Amino acid sequence: MAYEVDFKKVSTVGLESSPVANALAGLRANEARYYWNKYKHVFTTIPASEGKDTLAWIEKILSERDMHFPYKPLEVSEFEVNGTKMAYVFYENGLAVNIMYSLTEGGKRAVGFKLSNGMPIPKEFEGKFKFAHQKSRLAGVIRGSFFVIKGTY
């Protein structure tokens, strides 16, 4: 069942099993606010069990850097804005992964990682990525990093 993310009233709907549910919900709401403000797009998620194709696409791109996460995916989102395909997965441990994939040749294509406020840096990232910090009224301090996608998916 789809969930329309409300960035005015942060809710943990779909994320309740996460040990950092409130922070993850804030991170998800922060993403929803961004897409609403920039594109007037309503950010909607579905349970990961209903978005297997989206999850498989994300995992295929992550394998480009030999990244495989043992974390339980809770929710996914996939949509297109301004000629760019976007996909998200929100994991139980508080990690959010997003794919920005331009549908035009030569456009921007990247994988972004965001860590919920209070979660430790996962061992898969140690020594591989540096994280920038961003303050958010909805999510507290968000730590993020990314890599550029080289392949075609």
> What is d(CA 48, CA 51) in angstroms, rounded to the nearest whole number?
5
**Predicted local confidence at residue 96, as pLDDT:** 98
pLDDT at residue number 152: 92
* DSSP annotation of 105: T
pLDDT at residue 73 greater than cutoff 90: yes
Residue 134 lies in a domain: yes
For residue 44, give the nearest of 17, 82, 79 by alpha carbon.
79
Domain containing residue 50: 3-148
What percent of the chain is modeled with pLDDT above 70? 100
- pLDDT at 15 (0 to 100): 97
Which pLDDT does position 49 carry in this prediction? 97
Amino acid at 97: V
Average pLDDT over residues 75-88: 97
Each residue's pLDDT tens digit, 28-48: 999 999 999 999 999 999 999
- DSSP code of residue 70: -
Across the range 80-94, mean pLDDT stands at 97
State the alpha helices, DSSP H only, in the chain: 21-39, 52-62
Residue percentage of the chain with pLDDT more than 90: 90
Angle at alpha carbon of residue 52, lines to 79 and 68, rounded to 5°: 100
82 pLDDT exceeds 90? yes
54, part of any domain: yes
Q: Is 153 a member of any domain?
A: no
pLDDT digit string, tens, across residues 109-133: 999 999 999 898 999 898 889 999 9
> Can you say whether residue 6 is alpha, beta or left, with left for phi > 0 and alpha for psi between -120 and 50 degrees?
beta
138 found inside a domain: yes
**Domain tally, the chain:** 1
Q: What is the pLDDT of residue 23?
A: 96
